[in-house]
Structure 1
Amino acid sequence: MNTKNYILFLLFISLIFTGCKKTDWRENYREQSKAPFGTYIIHNEITSLYNGNEKVYLKKNISDFFNEIYYDNDAGYANYICIKSSANKLDKRSINKLLKFVFAGNDAFISLNHFSENLKKSLNISTDNLDKNTYALQELKNLKGSLYLKNDQFKDSVFKFERNIRRHYFSKFDSLTTIVLGTQKINHEKQPNFIKVYHGKGAIYLHTQPIVFTNYYLLNKKGTYASNIFSYLPDRTILWDPQVKSRKNSTDKNKKSVFKFFNKHTSLKWSLYIAFWGLLLFILFNARRKQRVVPTIEKLKNSTSDFTHTIANLYLKEENHKNLVTKKITYFLEKVRTKYLINTNNLNSVFIEKLASKSGNKLSTTRYLINTIIAVNKKSNCTQDELMRLNTLIENFFENN
């Protein structure tokens, strides 16, 4: 078989296996997925429910995001939204950051099939899922359900869903800080499946049926229930959490492999197999000539980098974080003077507006950075967390321009 026929044969095999496309009925809740149980529609239409407010798609963990910008009176309030099967990226530290965010006057909406123990313990709630061991597609298809909203405007409405509705409800919560907004009929009794937990100046809305926000139900004239649910949240900036990133320095061992993405799609999986075996056959048929091994030439060692690390380690061992903070601020102001030609003697509102305009950064982000610099510069001592947070803010500021 010559090379041309060999290539044509591989293309023919590829078309056979990649051309067969079946409907994927698995619950993936991915924002870019147009499969029945993806969230492509709600993700793209969510801003229309809040008068066109800005939607921020979180490309990093919520904990790391709040290290850069924090929504409060100065930066404006926001709604955090997470619709997934389970929020594995919300570890204990991320949940604490989210609770502080809500306590300051923001709101959070979380709809999951499985709530983590950390989240339940933090909110003093318990859940019961009678179908937690149901995974087969046919078994899930047979799970029907009737959902209700307790608001007077919806009290006479019954929202019926014909598949993938698990018997999942809140079995325990603090009645002093929690109110029931919606119920689900389970074994002829109405059980709470949508609650509002007050926390500080804000509230956390918890929902047990993320499936109702997927493409399948929104395309089958079931979107009224979803829009009614989101009507409880105020018109604000939307922080949409796709749960794609673990927190920096996290010890999470369940990080996703790139090969898991291929395994989720039959056509991509077969393409990967064919490419692998095709490459192996090509090597076997063409491995007649051998080339002498080319010796590796080591790069010259960068002694400047080692010296910098040594000096940095000395500061860290002395735990003189204030000294490093002062040097970081001096470095930042010097770079502002040389790069943007702005006088840094007075860090007032005029300076902040000029710096935001010339650097191309958002005004709220620039104001938050300068206020942080002023605050830590007044302190006689600084913690390691304050040093790391200042360093992250400065690096992100110069990366965005």
Structure 2
Amino acid sequence: MKKILPILLIIVALVVTASIAIGVKRTKTVDWEESFNEKSKKPYGLSIFYKELPNLFKDHKIRTVYHQPASYLIANSEYGYGEHVAEGSYIIIGNSDYLEDESIDELLNFVDAGNTLFISDYYFSQKIHDTLDIDIDYIFTEKDSISYQSLKYIDVESTIIDKNEGDYYFSHFDTINYNILGHSKINYKHANFIEVPFGDGHIYLHLEPKAFTNYNLLKEDRYKYIEGLISYLPENNVYFDSYTKIQTGYDGDVEKESNLGWFLEQLSFNWAWYTAIVFGILFMIFNAKRRQRIIKIIRPLQNTTIAFVKTVSNLYFETQDHKNLIDKKITYFLEKIRTDFNLDTSNLNDAFIIKLAAKTGKKKEDVKKLIEYINWLRSKNDFFEENLIKLNKHIEAFYTT
């Protein structure tokens, strides 16, 4: 073993030196995925805009919605069971086509009651097109990849959007009742930002979501264009949509990266790290052959179930961690539903309630109360002992009745 170890060390040193030399010439690849995720610091993420929302809407509440607008707005309506009545501006940047028809209806009811909806996307769900009677078309860039964005009624110079193969624009809308607030220009000027009166509120539709991304907000004075866009919205509470970003498959990997994430992106360190692991394993294999493994004393297993339950219950009783217990009860309940009844629990909507009631033989009304209460708990941030007790009663009633 003493003869092999120096050879291994020499090989490791050579591999590390070679990997460093390769890494010097390596060019880092930039991820240009248009995720429009508020946690992403990549070029086409929204982390900068998201962090600036409190400054753009001072003295107003900024709430991030991680659920379909339908469940959130119903829960926080005048007759809902949420902690407040939703009033203000609902902002959606990108991926709006993932909204379900039920959510579109609730958003339109939200606007009809005197609130505001702002959507910036390349196109919208068909229900919005049909309800508002709008059409969208696309024009290719002929000479370069630059388009120019401008606003009406606001003293802001036109801004540039580069890396743009073309522009989306409104090819048909009600020119009498709808108000054009902005244009984009490639070969000619066309409307890409309109205001739609709807009931007692207003809908703002914008067709260049890349303007809100980190890349464009950090380029020159392009942030002024976004300030101008947002200035059309009333000074009120803001509901920022995040649910649709989850549906695209982009789940905010920026938050989940480990501390080694940056180092592992460097080719030289990557080679050195995995080479060290491989030779470390080889070292242990060769070393293990020359040692007698310790004979482990196996003691009979003790039944510590009751002691464990007492310890865990005392821990939660002392810490009053109601949120943790509620999350675990919901997780275990949904897991049992998946296991026992083979149902998909990713979307707890009316269709799921009907299927669950049919498979369990329970009354639809009883099942609906339980599922709606779970959806409501998921939309809350603060929990009390009463919430935990009520959830437990609902689940016990589900299994006993």
Q: Identify the match of residue 93 of structure 1 among 81, 91, 102.
A: 102
What code does the residue aligned with 1:235 have?
Answer: E
User: Per-residue CA shift, 1:275-312, capped at 9, x if unaligned?
Assistant: 77876776677568899xx9xx9x99xxxx99xx89x9
Structure 2 alignment gaps of length 5 or more: 306-332, 342-355, 385-401
Report the Cα distance in structure 1 between the residues aligned to 2:158 and 2:65, rounded to whole angstroms. 31
Inter-CA distance 170–244: structure 2 relative to 1 (3 Å threshold): closer
Report the Cα distance in structure 1 between the residues aligned to 2:378 and 2:208, rounded to whole angstroms. 40
The residue aligned with 2:113 is 104
What code does the residue aligned with 1:200 have?
Answer: G
Q: CA deviation at 1:42?
A: 2.0
The residue aligned with 1:127 is 136
Q: Identify the match of residue 46 of structure 1 among 53, 57, 60.
A: 53
Inter-CA distance 65–36: structure 2 relative to 1 (3 Å threshold): same
The residue aligned with 2:249 is 255
The residue aligned with 2:372 is 389
The residue aligned with 2:150 is 148
Q: CA deviation at 1:58?
A: 2.8
Report the Cα distance in structure 2 between the residues aligned to 1:265 and 1:90, rounded to whole angstroms. 34
Q: CA deviation at 1:228?
A: 1.4
What code does the residue aligned with 1:215 have?
Answer: N
- The TM-score, its normalising length taken from structure 1, stands at 0.59
| SS of 1:143 mapped into structure 2 | coil
Report the Cα distance in structure 2 between the residues aligned to 1:232 and 1:273, rounded to whole angstroms. 52
The equivalences for 1:335-350 within 5 A come to: none
Residues 1:224 and 2:204 aligned together: no
User: Is the 8 Å Cα contact of residues 10 and 278 (structure 1) preserved in structure 2?
Assistant: no
User: Is the 8 Å Cα contact of residues 71 and 78 (structure 1) preserved in structure 2?
Assistant: no
User: Per-residue CA shift, 1:321-372, capped at 9, x if unaligned?
Assistant: 2xx3xxxxxxxxxxxxxxxxxxxxxxxxxxxxxxxxxxxxxxxxxxxxxxxx
Q: CA deviation at 1:317?
A: 2.5
The residue aligned with 1:356 is none
Inter-CA distance 26–75: structure 2 relative to 1 (3 Å threshold): same
RMSD over aligned CA atoms reads 4.9
The residue aligned with 2:91 is 81
Q: CA deviation at 1:46?
A: 2.2
Q: CA deviation at 1:95?
A: 2.7
User: Is the 8 Å Cα contact of residues 37 and 245 (structure 2) preserved in structure 1?
Assistant: no
Q: CA deviation at 1:265?
A: 8.5
Inter-CA distance 224–283: structure 2 relative to 1 (3 Å threshold): same
User: Is the 8 Å Cα contact of residues 27 and 37 (structure 1) preserved in structure 2?
Assistant: yes
User: Is the 8 Å Cα contact of residues 146 and 158 (structure 1) preserved in structure 2?
Assistant: no
Report the Cα distance in structure 1 between the residues aligned to 2:215 and 2:185, rounded to whole angstroms. 21
Q: Identify the match of residue 400 of structure 1 among 359, 373, 383.
A: 383
Inter-CA distance 58–106: structure 2 relative to 1 (3 Å threshold): same
Q: Which moved more, 1:221-230 or 1:281-290?
A: 281-290
| SS of 1:130 mapped into structure 2 | strand
User: Is the 8 Å Cα contact of residues 161 and 216 (structure 2) preserved in structure 1?
Assistant: no
The residue aligned with 2:32 is 26
Q: CA deviation at 1:87?
A: 3.3
Inter-CA distance 209–162: structure 2 relative to 1 (3 Å threshold): closer
Report the Cα distance in structure 2 between the residues aligned to 1:9 and 1:53, rounded to whole angstroms. 59
| SS of 1:255 mapped into structure 2 | coil
The equivalences for 1:205-216 within 5 A come to: 205-216=204-215
What code does the residue aligned with 2:93 have?
Answer: I
Report the Cα distance in structure 2 between the residues aligned to 1:91 and 1:281, rounded to whole angstroms. 53
| SS of 1:47 mapped into structure 2 | helix
User: Is the 8 Å Cα contact of residues 80 and 108 (structure 1) preserved in structure 2?
Assistant: yes
User: Is the 8 Å Cα contact of residues 39 and 47 (structure 2) preserved in structure 1?
Assistant: yes
Inter-CA distance 258–183: structure 2 relative to 1 (3 Å threshold): closer
